[in-house]
Structure 1
Amino acid sequence: MKIEIKNLASLQPAARDFINQMGDHTVFAFYGDMGAGKTTFIKAVCKELGVRETVASPTFAIINEYKGGDGRPIYHFDFYRIHKLEEVFDFGYEDYLYSGYTCFIEWPELVEQVLPENTVRLSIRETGNGSRIIENM
């Protein structure tokens, strides 16, 4: 998978392209620097999946739950504020990551050890011209 987002006008088409490439996968880990566009892209994907609620970074909550257009939950994680792996055990990460429902994870580096084996790992990076590239790692 490799998707280029050249500007904001191409964000929603890129989100649709991503959804078309998701296949049967449900857990997606997004790696990238601060400001690379992880949350912005996840918001666009959630919109394409029919989420009507406000999609925001769960930086302080760690996890936000949305309802997709099909009524199924979509889980959005931000592990930026996790200081030690034991913290993810406290909120029962297995119930989410192994639920079969769609999970989008920001800052997965901090929880690599507990990610399902079939997690799709994606990097988001900004290019010199300001576009974003999303690709498998």
Structure 2
Amino acid sequence: MEINFSLQQLEEVAEKIIAQNPNKVILFHGEMGVGKTTLIKQLCKSLGVIGATSSPTFSLVNEYETATNQLVYHFDFYRLNNEIEALDMGIDDYLYSGNWCFIEWAEKIPNLIPESHSLITISLLADDKRLLKLN
């Protein structure tokens, strides 16, 4: 699936992603500042997350709960030094929990990613629009 969109269309984009029934482990690729975290926040909202969401840049993972008591994990591995750090934080428990796992900077843990995952790539286009590809 490919979508050209502006940030004003994020709610619609998140709904389209969820409607595609992607794997619950989703990797987000794109340059810094392209809108990965912003999209993840909207996905959380669309999934029914209660309360505020924020980037886990310093904590590595944020855990959210939906109105139906489902858990959503948001990872940001930008500051991760190596895969051992991810293993030390129990990454396997998260990734194989059956809960939503949204992962930014997954290229830092290439050997730990489950075989069953989806990939969202976002790139910046002209006029402040984005191109999203879901595989």
Q: Out of 28, 31, 36, which is 2:29 matched to?
A: 31
Q: 1:86 deviation in Å?
A: 0.6
| Equivalence for 1:68 | 66
The count of residues paired between Structure 1 and Structure 2 equals: 135
Q: 1:70 deviation in Å?
A: 1.8
- Any gaps of 5 or more consecutive residues in structure 1? none
Q: Distance in 1 between matches of 2:13 and 2:60?
A: 26
| Displacement over 6 Å in runs of 4+ | none
Matches within 5 A, 1:99-118: 99-118=97-116
User: Which amino acid letter does the alignment assign opposite residue 97 of structure 2?
Assistant: S
Q: 1:99 deviation in Å?
A: 0.6
Q: Distance in 2 between matches of 1:34 and 1:9?
A: 19
TM-score, normalization by structure 1: 0.93
1:81/1:117 Cα in 2 relative to 1: closer, same or farther (>3 Å)?
A: same
Q: CA RMSD in A?
A: 1.1
User: Which amino acid letter does the alignment assign opposite residue 18 of structure 2?
Assistant: I
- Any gaps of 5 or more consecutive residues in structure 2? none
Q: 1:2 deviation in Å?
A: 1.5
| Equivalence for 2:20 | 21
Q: 1:122 deviation in Å?
A: 1.6
Q: 1:9 deviation in Å?
A: 2.3
| Equivalence for 2:4 | 4
| Equivalence for 1:80 | 78
Q: Distance in 1 between matches of 2:13 and 2:43?
A: 9
- Answer whether contact 1:66 1:74 (CA < 8 A) is retained: yes
User: Which amino acid letter does the alignment assign opposite residue 97 of structure 1?
Assistant: L
- Answer whether contact 1:79 1:110 (CA < 8 A) is retained: yes
| Equivalence for 1:132 | 130
